[in-house]
Amino acid sequence: MDGAFKGFGPKAIPFLKALDFHQSREWFLENRDLFEQELRDPLSDLVDTLTERFAKAGLGLRGDRKKSLFRINRDVRFAKDKRPYNRHLSAIRSPDGTKMEQG
């Protein structure tokens, strides 16, 4: 674990707004470091922090900082909306800590 969740940085929301506007691979690659520092890494810390707190509370939900996060890239193969990137971040909590767990 890199550290306890301290919140998202001040550049997180502006990044998502800019991503919503640009929606291009070139722009995203130019700003990938910002995405990782301001959004992905803090979300990973949140998953770890919640896993620890849920375990202490006896709740049967776990997460993994790598396996629980969903990609920011969208699957646009069958979608009417062809924007390549989500405008949000997401992660899942499950009994075994993976996305494949049956509910």
**Cβ neighbours of residue 15 closer than 8 Å, sequence gap 6 or more:** 31, 34, 35, 38, 39
**Cβ neighbours of residue 44 closer than 8 Å, sequence gap 6 or more:** 2, 65, 66, 69
Nearest one of 10, 13, 15 to 31, comparing CA atoms: 15
Give the helix/strand (H/E) hosting 77: none
Is 70 exceeded by the pLDDT of residue 100? yes
> What pLDDT does 25 receive?
96
Tens digit of each residue's pLDDT (9 = 90 or more) over 47-83:
999 999 999 999 989 999 999 999 999 999 999 999 9
Tens digit of each residue's pLDDT (9 = 90 or more) over 81-98:
999 999 999 999 988 877
CB 62 within 8 A of CB 54: yes
